Structure 1
Amino acid sequence: MSLRTAVAAPFREEGDTRMGESAFVVALSLDRDWFSPDQAKRLIDVAASEGLLRREDGTLEARFDPQETAVPDGFEPDESILRKRSTFERLLGTLVEAGEDKQEAVAAINGLQSDLAVTVEAAAALYAHRRGIDVSDLAGTARREL
């Protein structure tokens, strides 16, 4: 997922899971030239809302191990990662990251939704569970949204 990759890059360079918010913005905007400073701040907001970052007193903490996220040579994130994704989009993204084919997953999720008469988010969480993919955090979000 490019959001996780974009967030991981500055932490990988620092070799730590914590860094100052301003250093993170500089790393994405000036060092890598991926985003403007305002866009880099927006990325922080999106990543925090998706549980990838924790923000506290001007410090950011990665809520995942950035060293386990590869940043391919030539990687450049798309600006689309700057928008908040729905719970379903996040569930689908997790499935694709785990190696599921996107079109097949969507078709299977739609089938579950129809068969079980549940929301698309509930169907996606069930599909992931049946595939052995941990989406417990997103399943909780889907439950709260009901």
Structure 2
Amino acid sequence: MSLEVAVAVPFKHRAKERLGEGEFVVALSLDRDWFSPDQAKRLVDVAVGRGLVDEEDGDLVPRFDPDEVFVPEGFTPDESILREQSTFETALDAIVAAGVEKQRAVAAINERQRALAVTIEAAAVLVAKEHGAAVDRLAADVRGELAAAGDATDDGDEAGGADAADAAGDA
């Protein structure tokens, strides 16, 4: 996953377990010339949102071991990693990162969605948790979305009308 590689590089390069946001931004924008400073700040937001880093006392702390991440020679991240992924996409990526083949993950999500009559996002988070993926932040988001949906309407369409294959696109 190129997002994880891009996030790991500043920690690996500086051999630190935590970096100030400014130091992280400088590492990606000035040291590596991968992003503009604004884009590097956006990367911080995406990485926090995806649960790759936590913000602690003004520092960024990875939720994974950057030393375990392989950085291919000549690696340059694509700007597409700066876009926010949906809850479903993030959970699916976490399942795949846990070692499950993408098509099997999509099938498991669809099965869970049908069996429990929950949203595709809720099913994806449940499957991700079963595979040991760190999706606590996603789970909190899904709980909030479910609570809001329950407050807004009670039409009985809890499954949301989509399945994982639709949401996964090219799966």
Question: Could you state the TM-score of these two structures normalised by the residue count of structure 1?
Answer: 0.83
1:15-34 alignment runs, 5 A limit: 15-34=15-34
Tell me the distance in 2 between the aligned counterparts of 1:125 and 1:109: 9
1:45-95 CA-to-partner distances (Å, cap 9, x unmatched) read 111222322335653222332222222222222212112222211110101
Q: Which residue of 1 aligns with 2:99?
A: 99
Tell me the distance in 1 between the aligned counterparts of 2:141 and 2:68: 25
Q: Secondary structure at the match of 1:13?
A: helix
Structure showing greater Rg: 2
Query: Mean Cα displacement is larger for which, 121-130 or 42-51?
Result: 121-130
% identical aligned pairs = 61
1:57-76 alignment runs, 5 A limit: 58-76=58-76
Q: Which residue of 2 aligns with 1:88?
A: 88
Consecutive unaligned residues of structure 2, counting only runs of 5 or more, are: 147-171
Q: Does 1:134 align with 2:133?
A: yes
Q: Secondary structure at the match of 1:54?
A: strand
Q: Which residue of 1 aligns with 2:124?
A: 124
Tell me by how many angstroms 1:98 deviates: 1.5
Tell me the distance in 1 between the aligned counterparts of 2:63 and 2:108: 30
1:14-50 CA-to-partner distances (Å, cap 9, x unmatched) read 1111123222112112222221111111101111222
Consecutive unaligned residues of structure 1, counting only runs of 5 or more, are: none
How many residue pairs align between the two structures?
A: 145
Q: Secondary structure at the match of 2:60?
A: strand
